[in-house]
Chain A
């Protein structure tokens, strides 16, 4: 019988959290949606969600003093999953509507999609494939269940540019442009896409993250 784990979702005023809550409920986990540092610190794993602009995201965290809290939790290598904007905030800086400092959990910046082939529309809204840097690179990560034909759901105009190759976990192609679709550092993960809206493929990623929290491995 596995111990009951405590999972918390950082509530910093941006985005719709209800589908996320639903996913964890599906796996019989009652998540705590909170902006309270104490609960976040005591959780066994946290989710950093978010949609919207980089600046608005950082502002939302700072006002609540959560930027320092999240950074500290990350430095302890506690399992953490960033989603969409949440992932972008994990990097050092963002270039949306100006230059803004991020959490700096991993080094890198967030930039806009360049002009794309075939005049492909920005934002990317829809399903897309992700792939590892090289075969087998996903073993031991929360993407280990991912199959070649699986796809996940993206909604974004800005993309991740981690500074170090080692932090790049997954790549995708949109409008002829290859970009980073997931990052990782130890137990800290960030997905540009929305696993909670990506059907079965996404559910498996969430399950792996839960396993990571529960058993120490994905």
Chain B
């Protein structure tokens, strides 16, 4: 069995790393450069760097900040937040990103995804999905940092995006975000069952067991983590050792 990747996620707002709860309110939890380096040294397999207010404030992410954060971090970094054009992607790659994550703009202009794939390759384009459970069943796609409804159904949207060539799916549960109550296994399992591209889970990582069940029950390919790491509930080694003990292959440095 291949290695499961453990990926700390940094939500960026202005000069800070913040940690929302259910995508709401933005408590500051750290300094982007320090935190990113800390995770890199501690054995993170990749990093996710998302400017979570870029779409809300209708601006671009801070490329200079990204450059300073990415410097001297030699693992893959996926960057997202307000990506709206080919030149935005170029700027992000130029500033240290290896992959780009796109949500809001892609929902409004799905063809942007195929454009990006054509220009930069599938391996560079990650579909970022904010999924919220509907009262009447099913899940709805949200944009603008978990704020705007789209009327789109998550599964249908993901299938469409895969057809347009995205290389990976980063799925975050709006409901679980910041709660440390476990990933949304039901939803992740459904997506993993049909997705030919890797699925990165995010939203709700909490107990050590929650990491394990995302892999064994939902069959995700990678684990995105925010609160559990930012609040020092566990170290990266804690999680990796636990997974290894449960027969899940991970890279241990």
A contact set with B: CB distance below 8 Å? 15-16, 18-19, 22-23, 26, 51-52, 118, 120-121, 123-128, 149, 151, 153, 155, 174-175, 194, 196-203
Contacts and interface: CB of A to CB of B under 8 A. Distances in A.
Nearest to A123: B123
Contact of B75 (A118, A121, A153, A155): A153
Nearest to B198: A125
Contact of B253 (A121, A155, A200): A200
Contacts, number: 79
Nearest to A53: B121
B253 A199 contact: yes
B74 A121 contact: no
Give the secondary structure class of A's interface.
Answer: mixed
Contacts of A199: 40, 74-75, 253
Given A18-B93, A155-B123, A174 B2 contact: yes
What does DSSP make chain B's interface, helix, strand, loop or mixed?
loop
B98 A151 contact: no
A192 B251 CA distance: 18
B124 interface: yes
A51 B221 CA distance: 22
B176 to A, nearest CB: 24
B213 to A, nearest CB: 19
A121 B122 CA distance: 14
A149 B252 contact: yes
A198 B75 contact: yes
B96 interface: yes
A58 to B, nearest CB: 15
Contacts of B40: 199
A174 B221 CA distance: 14
Interface string B93-129: 1111110000000000000000000001101100000
A66 B189 CA distance: 47
B1 A118 contact: yes
B196 interface: yes
A180 to B, nearest CB: 18
Contacts of B3: 126-128, 151
A86 to B, nearest CB: 14
B130 interface: no
5 contacts: A22-B71, A22-B72, A125-B198, A153-B75, A198-B75
Nearest to A196: B74
B200 to A, nearest CB: 10
Contacts of B168: 125
A197 B123 contact: no
Of A51, A121, A126, A128, most B-chain CB atoms within 10 Å: A126
Contacts of B30: none
